[in-house]
């Protein structure tokens, strides 16, 4: 379900293992639809499209977080679906998501749910300054407003159209990290190593994966928390959980994604089993062997902005000079049009040690401008 880059990389992983794939996506030129054996051109709630997808498939997964949970539940009447619509519904709603974290005993940012004027007026003063986030449909920092005072908060809530929101206390971040786990139907769970993430303007910019990228005790905590969060909903499939490391040395959970995640892309080049192969394996009921990281990795996201470095009309970045760097692995998603802030691809620098991978990433970033 879904035709974006996550679907494209899933399709590639599945095809490498001999599977045929079908993608349901309305856009005729989507990254995943264009590389799949079958492309069902339909909306997510179109009954005929869903029936056609079920007909073509032995098992069904999603690459798109906001696929209607009801569509997954409908498909699950005919074929195994992972993750389940119920789990996806929790990840789609920041209020439900936070309630799940609390249920699992994993601390998250102090927050308040705002759905009514009364709740808005009752927000405790110590949640400010904070970030107002729409409960649904936010991504890459969209649907978020930083607010410092009750009147700014009120204006911001008006500004988002008074939709249900979560107000989160603005936390002093020391670092951000994430953990990808895969859990099979039999409850077997494996994970990728902890990923350290750097965001710019709310969008993931860099992921670093090597020993010592985060304080080891906090990394272990993040892995344990992610496993508890997956276990707590009987999750089947690939799940990514994002965390904040705070200035006082504590760790809090931020959010979860019911699918492979941008911060796990390095695993295609730095580990023997990628997050997309894990997704294929959970879906096909294949064994989940523990992935082994064989290279230090630094991933740079390639946003559409890179296409506008020299002129107002888009031009392709200088890939040749980047590819001349040892350990450079280029992934482009085949999107027709570059736009500012749009994820066009990523570059992973892999090396035998962290220092070399980091130096390579710095050089690549300098070459790309």
What residues form the annotated binding site? 94, 133, 138-144, 168-171, 176, 199, 254-255
List the one residue from 109, 268, 347, 351 that touches ligand ADP (CB under 6 A).
109
Residue 362 has, within 13 A of its CA and on its CB side, a CA count of 6
Nearer to ligand ADP (CB atom), residue 133 or residue 346: 133
Residues 213 and 201: beta-carbon distance below 8 Å: no
Nearer to ligand ADP (CB atom), residue 202 or residue 304: 202
Is residue 141 at the binding interface for ligand ADP, with CB under 6 A as the rule? yes
Residue 121 has, within 13 A of its CA and on its CB side, a CA count of 3
Characterize the bridge pairing of strands 130-134 and 165-169. Answer: antiparallel
Q: How many other C-beta atoms can be found within 10 angstroms of the C-beta atom of residue 155?
A: 13
Of 36-44, 118-126, 137-145, 284-292, the window that binds ligand ADP (rule: CB under 6 A) is 137-145
List the one residue from 178, 195, 254, 267 that touches ligand ADP (CB under 6 A).
254
Nearer to ligand ADP (CB atom), residue 242 or residue 269: 242
CA distance 180 to 261: 8
Three-class secondary structure of residue 326 per DSSP: coil
User: With CB under 6 A, what is the number of residues at the site for ligand ADP?
Assistant: 18
Of 13-21, 46-54, 162-170, 215-223, the window that binds ligand ADP (rule: CB under 6 A) is 162-170
Closest CB 264 distance from ligand ADP, rounded Å: 14
Paired with 292 in beta bridges are none
Is residue 334 at the binding interface for ligand ADP, with CB under 6 A as the rule? no
CA distance 9 to 32: 8
Three-class secondary structure of residue 7 per DSSP: helix
Closest CB 56 distance from ligand ADP, rounded Å: 31
Is residue 110 at the binding interface for ligand ADP, with CB under 6 A as the rule? no
Nearest to 67 by CA among 90, 34, 43, 44: 44
Of 171-179, 224-232, 284-292, 355-363, the window that binds ligand ADP (rule: CB under 6 A) is 171-179
List the one residue from 199, 342, 358, 363 that touches ligand ADP (CB under 6 A).
199
Nearer to ligand ADP (CB atom), residue 109 or residue 338: 109
For residue 167, give both structure tokens: 């107000």
Strand locations in the chain, DSSP E? 22-24, 38-40, 111-114, 130-134, 144-147, 165-169, 173-183, 189-191, 195-200, 203-209, 237-246, 251-257, 296-303, 328-332, 343-351
Q: Which residues are annotated as a binding site for ATP?
A: 94, 133, 138-144, 168-171, 176, 199, 254-255
Is residue 362 at the binding interface for ligand ADP, with CB under 6 A as the rule? no
Nearer to ligand ADP (CB atom), residue 130 or residue 291: 130
Binding site for ligand ADP (CB under 6 A): 109, 131, 133, 138-141, 168-171, 173, 176, 199, 202, 242, 254-255
């Amino acid at each position: 379900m879904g035709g974006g880059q996550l679907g494209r990389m899933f399709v590639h992983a599945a095809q490498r293992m001999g599977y045929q794939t079908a993608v349901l996506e309305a856009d005729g030129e989507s990254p995943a639809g264009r590389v799949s054996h079958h492309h069902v051109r339909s909306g997510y709630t179109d009954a005929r499209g869903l029936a056609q997808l079920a007909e073509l498939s032995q098992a069904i997964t999603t690459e798109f977080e906001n696929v209607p949970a009801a569509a997954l539940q409908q498909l699950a009447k005919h074929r195994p679906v992972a993750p389940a619509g119920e789990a996806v519904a929790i990840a789609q709603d920041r209020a439900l998501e936070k309630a799940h974290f609390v249920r699992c005993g994993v601390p998250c940012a102090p927050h308040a749910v705002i759905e009514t004027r009364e709740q808005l007026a009752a927000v405790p003063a110590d949640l400010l300054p904070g970030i107002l986030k729409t409960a649904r449909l936010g991504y890459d920092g969209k649907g978020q407003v930083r607010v410092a005072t009750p009147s700014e908060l009120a204006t911001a809530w008006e500004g988002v159209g008074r939709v249900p929101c979560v107000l989160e206390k603005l936390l002093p971040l020391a670092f951000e990290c994430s953990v990808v786990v895969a859990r099979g139907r039999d409850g077997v769970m494996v994970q990728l190593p902890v990923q350290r993430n750097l965001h710019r303007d709310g969008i993931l910019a860099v992921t670093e994966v090597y020993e010592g990228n985060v304080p080891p005790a906090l990394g272990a905590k993040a892995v344990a928390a992610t496993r508890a969060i997956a276990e707590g909903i009987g999750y089947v499939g690939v799940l990514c959980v994002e965390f904040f490391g705070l200035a006082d040395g504590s760790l809090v959970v931020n959010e979860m994604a019911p699918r492979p995640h941008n911060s796990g892309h390095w695993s295609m080049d730095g580990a023997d089993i990628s997050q997309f192969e894990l997704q294929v394996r959970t879906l096909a009921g294949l064994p989940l062997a523990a992935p082994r990281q064989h290279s230090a990795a630094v991933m740079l996201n390639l946003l559409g902005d890179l296409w506008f470095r020299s002129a107002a009309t888009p031009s392709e970045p200088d890939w040749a000079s980047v590819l001349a760097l040892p350990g450079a692995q280029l992934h482009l998603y085949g999107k027709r049009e570059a736009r500012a802030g749009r994820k066009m691809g990523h570059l992973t620098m892999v090396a035998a040690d962290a220092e070399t991978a980091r130096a390579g990433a710095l050089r690549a970033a300098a070459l790309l401008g």
